[in-house]
Every structure is written in C-alpha cells, then in structure tokens.
Structure 1
C-alpha cells in the first residue's frame, strides 16, 4: 500500500495532501475535513485507511489548517468561495496526475458545505458525493442544537445563557458565545456519541507518525483563525431550496447527531429529486466515520452506483 504526503501550491498557498492507495486504478476519493480548520489526517489514517481497498484516498489539509497552517493576513480574502476555488485547483491537479476524468467527494460537517457548493458548480468533475454530518441549513442546525442542550441540561444558568445566544453570531462577543454553545453541546453528548469531550481523539494526533507536535499546535491555531474568519458566513448557509443535483448524493448520518441536525439532513434527502441514498447509523452522532469506523468503511466501500431518484434508505 502506498501511504505518503505531498505538497501542492494551490492559488498561491502551499497545502498538504496525504494519499493512501492500494491500486492506482481505483477511483479517487477526496476527503474534506470539518471545522472550519479542523484538520483530521491522523484520525482518517487511523480509522479510515480501509477505504483504500476501493479508492485512492486523498486527505486534504485545507489552507490555514493542520499541516497547511499559516497565519491568515488581515486583508486576505478567506471565504467559503476561497475553499471552493482551492478544491477546484486540487481536483484538476489530481485528475491530471492520476489520469482520471472524475473524483468522488466526501465532505464532513464544514467540509460538507464546501462539498455541496462544489457539486452545484462543478458537477462534471464529480462521480458522486458523500455527505457525513451534512450541513443543510445552519439556522435549523443551531435551533436543533439549542433545543437538545436545553433538554439535557439541568443547570438554570446554563439554560438561560444558551437560550439567549444570538445564532447569527454577529454580536460583539460572538466567538465566546459560540465556544460556550459548542462546549455545552459536547458536554451533553450531542456531538460525540457516548462522550462528554473530544479527549479520546487527542492521542491519535500526538502519536501519529505524520503529525508532529508543531502540527498539533498549528491545528489548534488553524481552527481558531478559520472559525474567526468564516463562522459568520457559515451561519448563513442554507441548501434547503435545492431539490435537484447533477451528481448522485449519498448521506451517511449519525442518528444521535445534534451537532448538525440529522433530522434536517433526512428532510433534505426526502425532498431530493436526484439519484440518492441515505444511511442512518445507530449509536453514532456527528462522527460516525471514527466512532463506528468498520461499519462506515464497509458502507462506503460497498456503495452500489448508479443510484436511483427513488433513493435507498438504510439503518445500520
């Protein structure tokens, strides 16, 4: 198996891509990590290398994140469109290098925003799209998260503050409000199934042969700066008006995902008039690719394409 990293200059910025491949004839699967800025190479390598049985797995550390970290300039344009532009350049480079016509795309959480926007704009470059913890409508997402926290927190001070947070995140201390909101969601097990923190993920970063302590520190810095520059735009995201795509769409969702509403994702799937599949994973929340990795990898490796507009719903 080939397992190696490669640097690309994309739109003037040096960015890291990690490649895991058993067979160069396999289709390319480009993974779009969450966040924004939440680089995930060590977790993908630890939990999802089995995807290389069917695909050449391309793990992209997005600009300003993880191994691709650099401090954003004050006047630098950092928007959702920036990452879509980066992805287009990367995809075209990969298609040329691997002599392919299309790639498969997998977006998780923030990465699913990039993924959905990309397939709207460049469907001819995509074989099919897999959304995990798919963002459909940010305000519906925040509403569902708030409701979940209020139902699972008994502290009146916490409940009062959560109820009062403006989820447009344009208030003066919006970053502090966001961090408080997300911390309460995690503590009530609405994000990582069966866990009240993300601490169980940390050792994989520290022990990874492909991640130095410097990379780990850069991941923390990259996450903060990316959220600061992008979150107010994230809060406006809404794909609910789109009911048809030129690309087959597969959604893999944790049944207990209250970080990004699974119910909103399923409602979107139901109205979708395009080739589609929906897989609801029980005993999973926002990270089924890592908490139920063996099942997740099997699902992705055994996808049967083409799909139909009638869809195929599966619970596992």
Structure 2
C-alpha cells in the first residue's frame, strides 16, 4: 500500500496532506474534515483505510488545523471562501501531479460546507460529491438540535439555558453559549450514537504514528481558533434554495443525527434536481464513518453513482 505525507504551500500557508492508496491509478478522493478545525487524520487512518482499496485517499489537514496548525494573525482573512480557495489550489496541484482531470470529494459536517460551495463554483473538476452529516441550513440544524436537547434533558436549568441561546451566535458571550449548547447535545446522545462524550476517539490521536503530542495540542488550538473566526459565518449557511448542481450528489446520513439534522438533509435531497442518492445509516448519528466504519467503507467502495434526479434511497 502506498502511504506518504506531503506538505503543500497553499495561498501563503503550509498545509499537510496524507495520501493512501493500494493502487496509484485509483481515483482521487479528498476528505474534507469537520469542525471548523477538527482535523481527523488519525481517525481516517484507523477507521477508513479500506477506502484506499478503491480510491487514492487524500486526507487534508485544513489551514490552521491539526498538522497544518499555525496561529492565525489578527488581520488575516479566514472565511469559508478562504478554505474553498485553498481546496481549489490543492486540487489543481494534485491533478497536475497525476495528469488527471477530476477528483471525488467527501465532506463531513463543516467540511460539507466547503464541499457544497466548491461543487457550486467548480463542478468541472468534480466526478461526484459525497456529503456526510451534510450541512444544509444552519438555523434549521440548530432548531432540531435544540428540540432534541429539550426532549432528552431532565434538567430544568439546562432546558432554560438552551431555550435562551441565540443560535446566530453573534451575542457577546457566543463562544461560551456555543460550547454549552454542543456539550449538552453530546451529553444527551444526539451527536455520537450510543455515547455521551467523544472520549473514545482521543486514544487514536495519541497512538497515531502520524500525530505527535504537539500535533494533538495543535489540534485543540486549531479547533478553537477556527471556530472563533468562522462560526458566525457557519451560522448563516443556507443551501435550502440550491436545488440543481452539475455533479452527482450522494448523501450519507446517520439516522439518529441531531448534531447536523438528518431531517433537513433529507428534505434537501427530496427537492434536489440533480443526480442524487441518499444513504441512511441505521444505529448511527453524526459520525457514521467511524461508529459504523465497516458498513460505511463498504457503502463508499461499492457506490452506484446516480445518473438521474429520480434518486436512489438506501438504508444500511
């Protein structure tokens, strides 16, 4: 198996990519991690190595995140457009190196925002797009998350605070409100299926041969600074009225995802006028690629790429 790391200078920032493949002729699949700033290299390597049987798997540690961490400057522009531009340069470099014309994209959560924006702007470079925990409308997403917390929390104090939080997150104490909101969602089981914390993921970072303790520390720092710079823009994301794309779209959603609402993603899928598939993963929430890794890998490796807007719906 071919496996190596590579640094790219992208729009003024040094960024890390891990490339894994059983066959260098396999099509490129670029994984866009969540967050903002939640670099995921050790998790992809541990849970999703099987994807390298069909694809040349490209694990990109985004600007300021994980192994690509650096402290953002006060006057540095960090927006969704910044990350889309970074992805554009990365794809140009990869296609030039391999003398190819297209890549496949897989975006998870925050990464699905980058992915959707990219396929809107540069469809000619994309063979097909896979959205996992796809963000469609942030405000609808937060509404479903809030409703889930209120239904599953037994604390009156928690319910009162959750009810009072402005999910546009532009209030003075927005960062603390966001952390509280997300922590309650995790504690009530709406994010990681069958779990009330992310603790089961942490050992994979510590044990990874590609992550040092410094990288682990940088991951937490990168996540915090990325959220601080990007979250107000994330809170305004809305693809609800985007009904036609020039590339096939495959959505893979955990049936119990209340972190990024599966309901909202399915409503979007039903209105979509592009070649499309919707794959609902049972006994999964926001991280089906890791909590049901074997099934997820099999689904992606055996994808039937949709060719019409009639849609393909599967439950696994």
Report if TM-score (shorter chain) is over 0.5: yes
Q: CA deviation at 1:24?
A: 1.2
What's the counterpart of residue 228 of structure 2?
A: 228
Are the equivalent residues in 2 in contact too, given 1:251–1:279 (CA < 8 A)? yes
Q: Secondary structure at the match of 1:203?
A: helix
Q: Which residue of 1 aligns with 2:27?
A: 27
Residue 299 of structure 1, CA deviation: 0.4
Whether the aligned pair in 2 keeps the contact of 1:23 and 1:56 (CA below 8 Å) is yes
Aligned partners of 2:277 and 2:306 also within 8 Å: no
Shift of 1:307: 2.6
Contact 1:30-1:106 at 8 Å conserved across structures: yes
Q: Which residue of 1 aligns with 2:15?
A: 15
Q: 2-side partners of 1:157 and 1:88: how far apart?
A: 46
Partner residue, 1:59: 59
Output the aligned Cα RMSD: 0.5
CA contact under 8 A between 2:38 and 2:66: conserved in structure 1? yes
SS for the counterpart of 2:260 is coil
Contact 1:107–1:114 (8 Å) recurs in 2: yes
8 Å contact 1:119–1:126 — kept in the other structure?
Answer: yes
Counterpart-to-counterpart distance in 2, 1:305 and 1:16: 29
Secondary structure in 2 matching 1:36: coil
> What is the aligned partner in structure 2 of residue 299 from structure 1?
299
| Aligned mates of 1:232, 1:75 — CA distance in 2 | 17
Q: Counterparts of 2:306 and 2:175 in 1: how far apart (Å)? A: 43
> What is aligned with 1:88?
88
Task: Give the superposition deviation at 1:306.
Answer: 4.5
Counterpart CA distance in 2 for 1:154 and 1:297 is 36
| Secondary structure of the structure 2 residue equivalent to 1:42 | helix
C-alpha displacement of 1:98: 1.4
SS of 1:60's partner is strand
CA distance, structure 1, for counterparts of residue 24 and residue 39 of structure 2: 25
> Which residue does 1:50 correspond to in 2?
50
Is the contact made by 1:54 and 1:301 (CA closer than 8 Å) also made in structure 2? yes
Q: Is the 8 A contact 1:193 1:285 kept in 2?
A: yes
Please report the TM-score for the alignment, with normalisation by the length of structure 1.
0.99
Partner of 1:24, secondary structure, is: coil
Matched, 1:158 2:158: yes
Structure 1, residues 257-303: CA drift from partner, whole Å, max 9, x if none? Answer: 00000000000000000000000000000000000000000000001
The answer to whether the 8 Å contact 1:24/1:98 transfers is no
**4+ runs deviating over 3 angstroms:** none
Deviations 1:49-76 (A, max 9, x none): 1001100000000000000000000000
**Contact 2:130/2:252, CA 8 A, preserved across alignment:** yes
- Contact 1:277–1:307 (CA<8 Å) still a contact in 2? no
Q: After superposition, give the CA deviation of every residue in 1:69-116 in whole Å (9 maximum; x if it has no partner).
A: 000000000000000000000000000111211000000000000000
- Provide the rounded CA distance (Å) in 1 between the counterparts of 2:40 and 2:148: 26
Which deviations, in whole Å up to 9, do the C-alpha atoms of 1:143-191 show, x marking residues without a partner?
0000000000010000000000000101000000000000000000000
Counterpart residue number, 1:194: 194
Which residue of structure 1 aligns with residue 115 of structure 2?
A: 115
Residues 1:258 and 2:258 aligned together? yes
C-alpha distance in structure 1 between counterparts of 2:253 and 2:307, whole Å: 18
Asked whether the equivalents of residues 134 and 260 of structure 1 are also in contact (C-alpha less than 8 Å), the reply is yes
Paired with 1:105 and 1:5, the residues of 2 have a C-alpha distance of: 19
Measured in 1, the distance between the counterparts of 2:95 and 2:55 equals: 14
CA distance in 2, matches of 1:272, 1:240: 10
Counterpart contact for 2:2–2:24, Cα < 8 Å: no
- Give the paired residue count: 316
Query: In 2, are the aligned partners of 1:141 and 1:259 still within 8 Å (CA)?
Result: yes
1:171 maps to what in 2?
A: 171
- 1:117-156 map, 5 Å: 117-156=117-156
Alpha-carbon contact 2:240-2:268 (below 8 Å) kept: yes
Spell out the pairing of 1:205-216 with structure 2 (5 A cutoff): 205-216=205-216
